[in-house]
Structure 1
Amino acid sequence: MPELLTLSEWDKLVYKNNSHSLNTLRRWARDGYIYPAPQKHGREYLVEKSAIYRNPHRTTSKLQRAIACSTVSPQIRTSRYGSSPEKIF
């Protein structure tokens, strides 16, 4: 079973000198910015020691857009990505 830390302990371990406020850490936990997702135990979140920060709202990669372009009709592709899929690469 992985070692669980409080959000503050995890923040000190990962960010050392650049710590974040507890409100920020709670927001990250709620909004899915920490992977694997922290578990809420009572009033506090516990997170695995090996957890990482990630932005779940990050835009798709060029490869993902290229795959999407190859599976949709030309009209939809043009409206989403412009005149041609070559611009993606």
Structure 2
Amino acid sequence: MAVWSDWFNKLWDCLVMKEEDILEGSYNDYEMVEQAKKELEQARNLFTRVEDPDMVEYAVYNLKAAEKRFDYLIKRLKKPGNTG
């Protein structure tokens, strides 16, 4: 279990935007939505593949978080006056 967790954390660090980059404005809104879409796809993929009960719980949590982030960014883009 620990090996899977370590491997997943290293993979996640490579794929997910760094908070510092977001705060510094290194990404525009459309890039953030594309990244969130990729994270959502990865979360769905993980959810469909896990079998261990502990990992299922993690996959559900991860999927919900990815969905919330994607929904938030879409709403933010739809706001009037948003230039991206």
Instruction: Name the one with the larger strand percent.
Output: 1
Instruction: Name the one with the larger helix percent.
Output: 2
